Amino acid sequence: MSSGYVKDLSALTMLASGVEMPLDLQDGLITPNDRFFLCHAEPTPVVQAQGWSLGIEGNGVTTPLCLSLADLQAMEQVTVRAVIECAGNQRQLFEDVLGEPLNRRPEETELRWTLGGVGMADWRGVRLRDVLERAGITDDACHVMPISIDTSDEEPDGMRIPLPAAKALDPDTLIALEMNGEPLPADHGFPARLITPGWVGTYSIKWLDRIEVSREHRWVARNTLRYVMMGEAWADRNWSPARGPQITEHPVRSSLALPWSGATLAPGQHRLHGFARGGETAIVHVTWSSDGGTTWRDAELLSPSQRYAWVRFACDWLATPGEHTIMTRATDAAGRTQPMTQPFNDGGYLFHMVHPHPVTVASV
């Protein structure tokens, strides 16, 4: 895996095919480009802006296009602040909290993410809708499928995953050209990537090569074999040809910015910080408990409640010597609240239940 733009890997946590940014190192609201988590199947593609183009094709458009980077830059540019989070972020907590062994899919390499496969940036680029309308997307278009220059063993012609036409036409779905005011770093998809706010990271395809628009439902590896929910809780229906229901929008979740799986603090007053986020709906409320969930108090929200964005929150805690369990629980504007437990799925996806943060407070 290429480490490309990363200037200080000692601050990050290396995984088999990824790099996670520990939440306790996330000081502000926006994740700096050189600290944003990475998830690659192959080394970073080296793409030259000159000569690169994006094709828009398929039987779901009337006017196929071939757009250069300059063509995209000449179109109206918009900015969306959005969290990007791996569908498998917090996967390790299934094992650590629920005691569920991971790696139940021997054909897959499961990254043992803890809390750091997530970040938030300001993404700037062109509305995907504007490009599709220029290509004459048809009224009966079903799927819009971004395809990457990047490849894998199961996707030798480019990594891909279909989007429903409605999500592709959402005005906040972008072909991003910039990240936090700079051209996309190589590791984050230069020269252009998709941003699908509120949905799991696999839909935000990097290193775009072409986009296929089809009138038919498209089945590929990422919506049949990989990014689907499998396990006993989903075994009572026939999802064929997929193994289970597709993973799309993020659930509501929250985590304290503490080292996993435990932190050591001195006794006394502490202001603990954390991050709460959901899918397409803003987070409006966070509560916290310092006694393992018996008593809950309101956390202070330190940033605006905004669609697609996480909220930074704070808890003021008077720490006494001993072993403690701190929990946080978020609620979004639709009234969805983190559950206290959740069923295991074989891919270890979407861990979002209220989870303990063990904290040891040393004696004076």
Q: What are 129's two structure tokens?
A: 């809708």
Q: Are 6 and 19 in contact (CB under 8 A)?
A: yes
Residue 167 backbone dihedrals phi, psi, to 5 degrees: -70, -40
Q: Is the pLDDT of residue 216 over 50?
A: yes
Rg of the chain, C-alpha, whole Å:
21
Which of 113, 317, 88, 120 is closest to 222 using CA atoms?
A: 88
* Alpha carbon distance 180, 55 (integer Å): 26
Average pLDDT, stretch 22-46? 88
Q: Secondary structure of the chain: what % helix, strand, coil (to 5)?
A: 15, 35, 55
What is the domain partition of the chain in residue ranges?
Answer: 9-234, 253-361
Q: Are 141 and 215 in contact (CB under 8 A)?
A: yes
Task: Place domain 9-234 in its CATH homologous superfamily.
Answer: Oxidoreductase, molybdopterin-binding domain (3.90.420.10)
pLDDT given at position 9: 44
Q: What are 115's two structure tokens?
A: 């809390």
* Alpha carbon distance 360, 194 (integer Å): 42
- pLDDT single digits (tens) 62-89: 999 999 999 999 999 999 999 999 999 9
Q: What are 218's two structure tokens?
A: 């498209």
CB atoms < 10 A from the CB of 327, how many? 21
User: What is each CA distance from 224 to 34, 162, 359, in whole angstroms?
Assistant: 33, 11, 40
Sheet of 357-361, strands arranged across: 263-265, 357-361, 322-332, 283-289, 297-298
Average pLDDT, stretch 259-285? 94
Q: Does domain 253-361 have CATH number 2.60.40.650?
A: yes
Average pLDDT, stretch 222-235? 93
